[in-house]
Amino acid sequence: MEFQNLLIEKDGHIAIVTLNRPEVRNALDPRTWAEIRGAARQCRFDKDVRVVIITGAGGKAFASGADIRSLREREALEALKSEAQESLNDVENLDKPVIAAIDGFALGGGCELALACDIRIATSRSKLGQPEVNLGLIPGAGGTQRLQRVVGIGKAKELIFTGDIISAQEAKEIGLVNKVVEQPEDLLAVAKEMAQKIIAKGPMAISLAKVAINVGTNTDINSGLLFEKFAQTIAFSTEDRIEGTTAFLEKRKADFKGK
């Protein structure tokens, strides 16, 4: 896929996906949603990529939300097509960890994009929220579902019903953000540092753990536990399990191959 609104670069085993529409605070129009989906698929099939970082260009916004003009002109039935939902499903279900590196506004669809990522790191100047009700709309890219799973149903209802925009520190306090970085220039370095910690672990185990967590989030605990047993059975059949346990016993660093 040819990317016009995204930049994709690789740093070792890390793929860095940058929303690159700073002139409109990285607003999410249909083209950008399609490119996000394309980037997720590209990362899925790139065997060298073990962690993905998604961030925004310009320093003012991770993603400021949807293009309001396009929302006003859209026909009602077009909402059923929901390119945004499909794109974020691909991000959430990517078999590799995805880190959102947030600097500035993450509002509406931008907050929903962050929610679809596995880990969220924000700068202290960042603001997050789901203000769609101010436009007579609701979060439509998974926000009504993912937000409650991250911060709890009561807080999710408060944020969605009021449309409040909260600070990065408050977002951290309620579990919406994992970590807050004081200096914006340190954001990507902190995200890469976390990515490198993940890369040092068994990639098969990381992938299986992510799938098991996602399945458990969307089903009852007994079904989740059963899936965990099957995932662990697969993990036991990998070369990485032999390498990991052998390295531990030999008191050396494991050399995982993802097999």
pLDDT for position 27: 92
With 0.85 as the threshold, say if the pTM is over it: yes
**Whole-number Å distance between alpha carbons of 43 and 109:** 21
**Whole-number Å distance between alpha carbons of 152 and 176:** 10
* Residues with Cβ within 8 Å of residue 61, at least 6 apart in sequence: 22, 25, 26, 103, 104, 105, 106, 107, 110
Closest listed residue to residue 111, CA positions, set 62, 174, 53 = 62
**C-alpha dihedral (248, 251, 257, 258), degrees to nearest 10:** 20
**Whole-number Å distance between alpha carbons of 17 and 55:** 6
pLDDT for position 109: 95
**Whole-number Å distance between alpha carbons of 59 and 184:** 8
Q: Helix, strand or coil for residue 219?
A: coil
Domains and CATH numbers, the chain: 6-199 (3.90.226.10), 203-249 (1.10.12.10)
Residue type present at position 7: L
pLDDT for position 259: 87
The count of C-alpha atoms lying within 13 angstroms of the C-alpha of 130, restricted to the half-sphere facing its C-beta, is 26
In terms of Cβ atoms closer than 10 Å to its own Cβ (0-12, 13-18, 19+), residue 213 is middle
Q: What is the 3-state secondary structure (H, E, C) of 78-125?
A: HHHCCHHHHHHHHHHCCCCCEEEEECCEEECHHHHHHHHCCEEEEECC
Tokens of 120: 């969220």
Q: Which residues are catalytic?
A: 112, 132
pLDDT tens, residue order, the chain (259 aa) = 789 999 999 999 999 999 999 999 999 998 999 999 999 999 999 999 999 999 999 989 999 887 666 665 665 556 556 689 999 999 999 999 999 999 999 999 999 999 999 999 999 999 999 999 999 999 999 999 999 999 999 999 999 999 999 999 999 999 999 999 999 999 999 999 999 999 999 999 999 999 999 999 989 999 999 999 999 999 999 999 999 999 899 998 998 988 8
**Whole-number Å distance between alpha carbons of 46 and 12:** 12
The count of C-alpha atoms lying within 13 angstroms of the C-alpha of 121, restricted to the half-sphere facing its C-beta, is 21
